[in-house]
Homo-oligomer: A and B are copies of this chain.
Amino acid sequence: MYENIALVGATGAVGRIVLEQIVQRKLPYRSLRLLASQRSVGTEVRVGGQAVTVELLHPGAFKGVDLVIASTPDEVSQEFVPWAVDEGAVVVDESGYWRMNPNVPLVIPEVNPEAVRNHQGIIASPNCSTTQMVVALAPLHRFARVRRVVVSTYQATSGAGTAGNEELFLSVAEELKGKTLAPKTFQHPIGFNLIPQIGSNKFEGYTSEEMKMVYETRKIMEDQQIQVCPTCVRVPVTIGHSESILVETERHISIDQAKRLFSEAEGITVVDDLDSHVYPMPRDCEGKDDVFVGRIRRDISSENGLAFWCVSDNLRKGAATNAVQIAELLQRSSCT
């Protein structure tokens, strides 16, 4: 089962990496179809040496498909996912549209793989900024119960797709000439600047991106008592989201325990030697699948707090890798 696969949005920034990951991770499949909107139909895409032609995403397109991996905007997902489910496929969806639906498991394979079992045709992959944070928090939560998280993000322009990176490059090039590029993808010029808004005003002055970090964290960790105060900021970096995280736990965690918990956790690499100027940075995490954690230190402002710095490739673990890992999980669970 799950061997007749369709990808939706395969020509986008994340979709391209999903394809790469399918090849690199050797996800087994009998057939692989690429579906997209009219604009991309007919495009040939190389998948592990084979040319695959992009077909039209339409009702009926999922006949004979068992498994869909989809990277599309929310409104596209809202429309096509019911077609795919009606036609008998299970959809792993990376959009934000289905994540908080109580009938849809929201899954990070290292954190809550068991949730995948309860799906009713749709499994959601979390928002990029949530995923890397929750991967890092999960071992601490299992050991000492996370009570509160204060997080400030430093989010890369590729979070806004290929157009985001192009706008950063153009904006920086203009600024170097003493000019300013009129922004299109972002609300303001991004070259040599910071934009403390990702998404729209959602709840009491918090943005939609920030509230995803609140709601999705609680759902994945299955604990509605976890309090999260997020600030999401776009920075002039192309790939790799970074997060300054302060976590308060019910039980005390020593620094040695924290480092051991991080080191032993699946999907986390500890990079932490301040004296040698060693810590996670976006440029070192690009193209890697792990969540990188460093600057691990006790919170000097509370009793049971821990501060750390967390970086991950937002297109990989933050999106494509997590979706492909969910597909692997489905395939494995159907074998037993």
Q: Which residues of A contact B (CB under 8 A)?
A: 148-150, 152, 154, 168-169, 172-173, 176, 187-189, 192-197, 201, 203-207, 214, 227-229, 231, 233, 235-238, 242, 244, 246, 255, 274-275, 277, 279-283, 294-302, 305, 307, 309
Contacts and interface: CB of A to CB of B under 8 A. Distances in A.
Given A205-B296, A231-B307, 10 more contacts: A150-B301, A154-B194, A169-B176, A196-B242, A196-B280, A197-B274, A229-B299, A229-B302, A236-B236, A236-B237
Contacts of A188: 277, 281, 283
A231 B301 CA distance: 12
16 contacts: A148-B302, A152-B244, A154-B233, A154-B235, A168-B192, A173-B176, A192-B236, A193-B282, A194-B282, A196-B242, A196-B280, A204-B300, A228-B301, A231-B295, A231-B307, A231-B309
A126 B173 CA distance: 35
Contacts of A309: 196, 231, 233
A189 B229 contact: no
A297 B206 contact: yes
A254 to B, nearest CB: 12
Question: Which of A150, A173, A192, A307 has the most B CB atoms < 10 Å from its CB?
Answer: A192
A2 to B, nearest CB: 38
Contact of A187 (B149, B154, B237, B277): B277
B229 A246 contact: yes
Contacts of A298: 204-205
